Amino acid sequence: MTKIAFIGMGIMGGPMARHLADAGHEVIGMASARAVAELAEHGGRGAATVAEAVDGAEVVITMVPDSPDVESVALGPGGIYANAAKGALHIDCSTIRPDVAQHLAEAGAEQGIAVLDAPVSGGEAAAKAASLSIMIGGREADVERAMPILSKLGTTIVHVGPSGSGQTVKAANQLIVAGTIELVAEAIVFLEAHGVETEAAVRVLAGGLAGNAILERKAGAMLKRQFAPGFRIDLHHKDMGIVLAAAREAKVAIPLGAHVADLISALRAQGHGSLDHSALLLQVDELSGRGTNRDS
């Protein structure tokens, strides 16, 4: 079994760390006291600092909100690369900018640390079910080394290219998810306005060409106007910023994506950043004059 340092155990990182502990790995977590206590119930333990967490670890996994957060725990005298053993493997499962992922791979290599960008998709439910989709950027040999670990966390695990490629694919994922949520929200309000039995409508739509994971996993709560976060608007706002920047860099037009990014930004500005990204439905309600009932 492997000694694993797991830094960042939030909505998705927590279940991921616990799966690894359940699989028999020695997991040392650095997160909130509550998350560490939950990990301890599965045989793991906590650490107060990055240096303590990575001491003797063969694998270090990070699952933190944004590019600066990964840089803060990876770089510098108190970071992963200065304190982990030579030959350790850093798997970053956060969603960050592709250029930052490339920089981290270079910085890690200078210290003898192998680095993979391995962002995940599937939300809280998939994290709990160990059925995440994981897109990996980095060297083939390092990917092979990571597979026994990642196989405990996901069911679709694909090496998509060199360092930064995982984050580029994740940006495309977030572009598709944002657009799909918006269209599902519009369809729900459209159906309700016409007096259709919406639960039945969702079932038949999910079984046809319009079927998608949002209809299957999110539509039920959307119909009830329940937006407890599985993935917060704040985080999707950050991700759409990554998408827009990467599109500009590549000189690619994403007209619908840019519009949905504006809708997410507006919803966040209205104070809904802590709600699930399916709360895009609130805007459709408001724009349609159909009220703002919500359950946060």
What residues are annotated to the active site? 170
Give the type of residue at 280.
L
d(CA 278, CA 242): 19
Pairing of the two strands 26-30 and 3-7: parallel
One-letter identity of residue 144:
E
Neighbours of 147 (CB within 10 A): 14
Tokens 């020695």 -> residue: 26
Long-range contacts of 79-84 (CB under 8 A, 24+ apart): 79/50, 80/5, 80/7, 80/50, 80/54, 80/108, 80/113, 81/107, 81/108, 81/110, 81/111, 81/113, 82/51, 82/111, 83/50, 83/51, 83/54, 83/55, 84/5, 84/54, 84/57, 84/60, 84/111, 84/113
One-letter amino acid for residue 264 of the chain: I
| Separation between Cα atoms, residue 238 and residue 259, nearest integer Å | 15
Q: What value does the CA radius of gyration of the chain take, rounded to a whole number of Å?
A: 20
Q: Which of 3, 51, 46 is nearest to 24 (CA)?
A: 3
**Alpha-carbon span 121 to 35, nearest angstrom:** 21
